[in-house]
């Protein structure tokens, strides 16, 4: 198995912490928030998709990808991520685009460095760890929000 295939399989498996939460989610769950937190379940799902698209373009080289990362731009929950079909489609599209560009990486690409304002200079190999941990971090938040969160009044 190539390095690219290994990283791809690792990322896909780690992402199941997130996708497994989506199988039973309902529209009313999207507005749930934990007490004293700002982000709803809908925001978290959208945010994971936004960041995956940014990684596809800015880290892995999908230069033709047009990304409008609303959650990153707003930096807070604006309350607009309440359409279940839309947020689920968006995160799936983000997955598909990131997967497609990861599949195009060559053995030598993994040692290339990239620089972003969010995390500085990293090799693409290090960056794959960053997207894995980002998704896992927010999947944990999403899990707690779905289990213990309340819908705003």
| Backbone dihedral angles phi then psi of residue 53, each to the nearest 5 degrees | -65, -40
| Backbone dihedral angles phi then psi of residue 15, each to the nearest 5 degrees | -70, -15
Confidence (pLDDT) at 153: 66
Q: Cα–Cα distance between 99 and 73 in angstroms, integer?
A: 23
Contact 123, 5 (CB under 8 A): no
Query: All domains of the chain, ordered by start, with CATH?
Result: 3-148 (1.20.120.450)
Confidence (pLDDT) at 151: 79
Structure tokens, 113: 């460095």
Regarding pTM above 0.75, the answer is yes
pLDDT tens-digit series, residues 75-124: 999 999 999 999 999 999 999 999 999 999 999 999 999 998 888 999 99
- HSE-CB at 96 with a 13 A cutoff on CA atoms is 6
């Amino acid at each position: 198995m190539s390095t690219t295939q290994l990283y791809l399989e690792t990322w896909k498996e780690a992402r199941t912490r997130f996708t497994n939460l989506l199988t039973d989610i309902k529209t009313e769950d999207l507005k749930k928030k934990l007490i004293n937190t700002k982000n709803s379940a809908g925001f978290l799902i959208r945010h994971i998709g936004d960041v995956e698209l940014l990684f596809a373009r800015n880290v892995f080289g999908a230069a033709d990808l047009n990304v409008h990362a609303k959650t990153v731009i707003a930096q807070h929950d604006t309350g607009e991520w309440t359409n279940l079909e839309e947020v689920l489609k968006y995160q799936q599209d983000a997955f598909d685009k990131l997967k497609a560009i990861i599949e195009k990486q060559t053995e030598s690409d993994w040692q290339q460095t990239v620089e972003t304002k969010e995390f500085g200079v990293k090799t693409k190999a290090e960056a794959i760890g960053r997207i894995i941990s980002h998704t896992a971090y927010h999947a944990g938040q999403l899990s707690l929000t779905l289990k213990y969160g309340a819908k705003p009044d």
